[in-house]
Amino acid sequence: MSIALNIHLEYDNFSLISEEEIPLKGITGILGHSGSGKTSLLRVIAGLNSNAIGTVEYGDIILQNTDRNTFIKSELRNIGFVFQDARLFPHLDVLGNLDFAVKRCQSSSMTIDEVICLTQIEHLKKRHVGQLSAGEKQRVALARAILAEPKLLLLDEPLSALDNKARGEMVELLRNIHQRLDLPMIYVSHSVIEIQQLADNVLVMENGKVIQRGHVHQVINQLHESVTHGQTIQTSLSLKIQQHLPNFGLTQLDFIDAQPGNSRLYTNVVDKKINSHLRCYILATDISITLQQPQDTSVINNLQGVINNIQRLSRNSAQITVNACAQDFLVKLTRYSVEKLKLEIGQTVYIQFKANAIRSY
């Protein structure tokens, strides 16, 4: 099932044109600069933008069809929305805010206590909204949205006011909730890392249009610097947890489809079960290239590969794509290094990166 959009929305200096099919499975990330139209698109889906012209279909349910004068009101769409600012009722405590949602949804199959447990806010029940941190407010907003039992949850930059640690915890929480409730989500952000860590499919927006779409790793590995907007290019991948080496503070990883032991990689110890998958990324600036197989090096990760692309990024830097173990790795080098090593397409090289270069939240 999917949401099918064929929409045109016009403001004075901006138009959103979207002919898109968004899968109602997994988490879809929408990535783009500020002002690219991400929120406008979410608002159209939620029924919060009645100026939009065209059709919005949820499976075979028509949510909007301008030609037929059909427009299902937002409150009847059964679509949850968590905004950038949590939008809680400031005069109520946490329970009061959640009770309010329960009263509006007569048929909730989850109890308020179950949702409180799921969103890990037991200790906040009696607190007033003014006594909550930004991350705590977002948990409560999430609990409130879940209590209404939406069939789809829209999240508009819910982590933008959080520090790095709280972001990591929220990403983990959102992933758990998605899995436990099998609740499709559309998640908007301008952070490549948030989208990389959370989304299964990604749409990239620019100037009111979707310019790129596909599986998360594929889209992120093809992002152009104009979209990453100062965020470093990265290799996005999922690796299998092979074993933990607690004495060294390391976890051994492998490519998901690789024969065991063929292509060992190491990262700083990760709290995940053996054989589970780690969604991770390596910044292009964290990988270096050598022409000979490194010997006696302190850099723990070394892979042989072949250069399959060299792209100039600026006057003095280039992005090199090295295919190693059937995975493309993106490497950012200075023009000086590219010329010094005489790098060219088809050449066999070795890439190397430290354990802490394999990052995840």
Ligand X SMILES: Nc1ncnc2c1ncn2[C@@H]1O[C@H](COP(=O)(O)OP(=O)(O)OP(=O)(O)O)[C@@H](O)[C@H]1O
CA distance 178 to 169: 14
In the chain, the DSSP E strands lie at: 2-11, 14-23, 27-32, 53-58, 61-65, 70-71, 79-82, 152-156, 185-189, 201-206, 209-215, 234-245, 250-255, 265-268, 277-283, 288-290, 301-314, 317-324, 327-334, 348-353
Give the nearer residue to ligand X in terms of CB position, either 48 or 250: 48
Query: Angle, nearest 10°, between helix axes 134-147 and 164-181?
Result: 10
Radius of gyration in angstroms for the set of CA atoms belonging to the chain, rounded to a whole number = 23
**What is the nearest approach in angstroms of ligand X to the Cβ of residue 12?**
6
Number of residues that bind ligand X (CB under 6 A): 12
Give the nearer residue to ligand X in terms of CB position, either 45 or 320: 45
Give the nearer residue to ligand X in terms of CB position, either 35 or 54: 35
CA distance 194 to 264: 26
**What is the nearest approach in angstroms of ligand X to the Cβ of residue 219?**
17
Q: Is 248 in the site for ligand X (CB under 6 A)?
A: no
Give the nearer residue to ligand X in terms of CB position, either 34 or 262: 34
CA distance 157 to 36: 14
| Contacting ligand X within 174-213 (CB under 6 A) | 190
CA distance 136 to 154: 18
Site for ligand X (CB under 6 A): which residue of 14, 89, 248, 336? 14
**What is the nearest approach in angstroms of ligand X to the Cβ of residue 213?**
16
The binding track of 26-65 with respect to ligand X, each residue x by CB under 6 A or -, is ------x-xxxxxxx-------------------------
**What is the nearest approach in angstroms of ligand X to the Cβ of residue 185?**
17
Contact residues for ligand X, defined by CB under 6 A:
11-12, 14, 32, 34-40, 190
